[in-house]
C-alpha cells in the first residue's frame, strides 16, 4: 500500500510540473519583453550654428568632410542645415588649410571655433 502512495505522489508531482511547463509555454508570460527604444542611427538631422570666436578663425564649413558652401567669417556665425548627430565639423581657409575638428552632439546646437 505504501508503494502505491509513493508512486501516486511521484506521478502527481510529475503531472503538476508538466502542467505548469505547458501552461507557461502555450499561454506565454504576463509581461512581454519590450526592447528599449533608441534614437535612430543617423537618420535624424539638425540645424546648427557654427560660431567663430576669434577674428583669425574663418573658412568654409565642412560637415563630415563634405563642403557645405557656407563661409564663416571671423567673429561671426553661420547656420548649417541637416547635420547628423556626431558629425565632424571643420573649417578650410582660402589656402586650403584645415582647422582642428569640432564634433556636433545634440542637444547642443552650436559649435564654436575659438582657434583654427
**Backbone phi, psi, residue 88, to 5°:** -90, 125
Domain assignment of residue 39, yes or no: no
Each residue of 14-37: pLDDT tens digit?
777 777 776 766 666 555 555 555
Does residue 109 sit in the same domain as residue 55? yes
**Average pLDDT of span 61-72:** 98
| pTM for the predicted model, two decimal places | 0.63
Domain assignment of residue 40, yes or no: no
What is the domain extent for residue 73? 46-113
Each residue of 71-100: pLDDT tens digit?
999 999 999 999 999 999 999 999 999 999
Q: How would residue 42 be classed by pLDDT, with cut points 50, 70 and 90?
A: very low
- Number of structural domains found in the chain: 2
Does residue 6 sit in the same domain as residue 51? no
Reply yes or no on whether the pLDDT at 66 is more than 70.
yes
DSSP 3-state of 40: coil
- 86 or 12: which leads in pLDDT: 86
Average confidence score pLDDT of the chain: 84
Q: CA-CA distance, 26 to 6, in Å (whole number)?
A: 30
Give the position of cell 583654427.
116
Does residue 28 sit in the same domain as residue 51? no
Domain assignment of residue 27, yes or no: yes
Amino acid at each position: 500500500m505504501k508503494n502505491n502512495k509513493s508512486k501516486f505522489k511521484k506521478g502527481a508531482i510529475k503531472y503538476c510540473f508538466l502542467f505548469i511547463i505547458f501552461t507557461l509555454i502555450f499561454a506565454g508570460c504576463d509581461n512581454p519583453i519590450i526592447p528599449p527604444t533608441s534614437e535612430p542611427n543617423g537618420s535624424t538631422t539638425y540645424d546648427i550654428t557654427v560660431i567663430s570666436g576669434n577674428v583669425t578663425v574663418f573658412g568654409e564649413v565642412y560637415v563630415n568632410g563634405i563642403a557645405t558652401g557656407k563661409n564663416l567669417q571671423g567673429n561671426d556665425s553661420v547656420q548649417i542645415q541637416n547635420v547628423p548627430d556626431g558629425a565632424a565639423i571643420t573649417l578650410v581657409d582660402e589656402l586650403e588649410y584645415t582647422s582642428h575638428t569640432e564634433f556636433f552632439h545634440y542637444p547642443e546646437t552650436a559649435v564654436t571655433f575659438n582657434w583654427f
